[in-house]
Every structure is written in structure tokens, then in C-alpha cells.
Amino acid sequence: MKRFLAVVGLIMTLLLVLFVVAEYSQLSFLTDPTPWLDKNSPGTALLAILLLSADVVIPVPSSIMMTVNGALFGIWLGAAVSLLGGLGAALIGFALGRWMTPLVQGWVSQQEWEQARRFLTRWGSIGIIITRPIPILAETMSIVAGTSLSCQEVLRASFWGLLPIALLYSLSGAMATDLITSLASFFISLAMAGIFWWVGRRFIRK
């Protein structure tokens, strides 16, 4: 699957370039969107959802935004806003993957394509779950999964991968905690994603 893996590497590289460009452009709503989210209102919630949805193509600091959502809307509503935004990003990633599918099929051999499809069909959902807390990898996985998995499968896996992250960051924001707690939330979400992966692997083997 060398050519298919090259496609995955290309997607990651493009996303990384976008991240670097955004950092050097110093666009305020990308480097620090918190001034745009200054009040508890439906408009602010919608803006947060839209920015988190766009995270698949532009480098929005999603962990900061999820924490701010918790501070503005409370634990449960803040987590719901973050979850909707994350699912929006997964849907956009899926659509990009679907759009890229004919291009990828034309570049890789039929044998490589079938191998990649079998691999993604078996492990794609677990891959989405365990990469959700990891920038670049999460977006890449959503796009790649869109070439082989159904929209329902991508959204379902994204939901389970996003749920612990959204809850932990929302809790962190609602409690007005510091950077150390936010970092702890990140590593806890990684651990929970690992648990999902372990359970999923055992389920698939059965």
C-alpha cells in the first residue's frame, strides 16, 4: 500500500502547511479565538460550532475553544456545543474524502486500493476514535476514512472519540482551571481513546 500511504502522508503534509501558514499569518480568530467568544448567547454557540467544524481545513485551537465553551455555557451545554462542532469537522472530512476517492483510485493500483479499503473497513472506526485528541492526525483520519467508510460509520466513531474530549475540556472550562488541568484533560482523553481502541480491537476479533 505504498502509494496509498503516500496519499495519507500528502494529506498530513498539506494540513501541516496550513497550520504553519495560519500561525505566521497571525489571524486573531485562528491564533486566539477567545475574544470572539465573550458572552453566553446562541450566536456565540453557533460561532463556536462553525469554527470547530472548520478545524478540519484550518488550524483552529480546538482545545482552547472547548475549554471556553465550558466556561461560557457550563459543563453539559458546553460539551454539546463542542461535540456538534467536532462532528461538523468529521462530516467535512468525510466529504473531502469522498471527493478525493476517484483521484486516489486513479493513482493507486486496484490491488492497493482493495487492500486499503479492507484495512480501513476493519480498523478505520477505531483509528478515528484513538486519533481524535491528536491534531493533524484526527483531521487526516477523517479525510482518509471518507474514502472507504460510510458517513454513518465516520460520525459514529467521531462521536465516541469526541465525547470524552468534549466533556473533559468543558469540565476544565466550567471549573475555571489552569493550564496544568487542561493538559491533564488532554492526556486523560488520550488514555480514554486508548481504552476505546482496546475494547474495539477485542470486539472486532470476536
**How many Å apart are CA 97 and CA 38, to the nearest integer?**
34
Residue (of 134, 158, 159, 133) closest to 145 by Cα position: 158
Q: What is the pLDDT along the chain (206 residues), one digit of tens a residue?
A: 688 888 889 888 988 888 777 667 666 656 566 666 667 788 888 988 998 998 888 877 788 888 888 888 888 999 999 999 999 999 999 999 999 999 888 888 888 888 888 888 888 888 898 888 888 888 999 999 999 999 999 999 999 889 888 988 888 787 765 445 555 555 555 565 555 555 555 544 44
CA distance 3 to 116: 10
Do residues 199 and 120 touch, judged by C-beta distance below 8 A?
Answer: no
CA-to-CA distance for 113 and 107, rounded, in angstroms?
9
Of 70, 42, 90, 38, nearest to 175 (Cα)?
70
Record the pTM: 0.79
What pLDDT sits at residue 93? Answer: 94
- Whole-number pLDDT of residue 203: 46
- Return d(Cα 112, Cα 3) in angstroms, integer: 8
Residue type at position 199? V
The pLDDT of residue 6: 87
Dihedral in degrees, nearest 10, Cα atoms 73, 33, 19, 5: 10
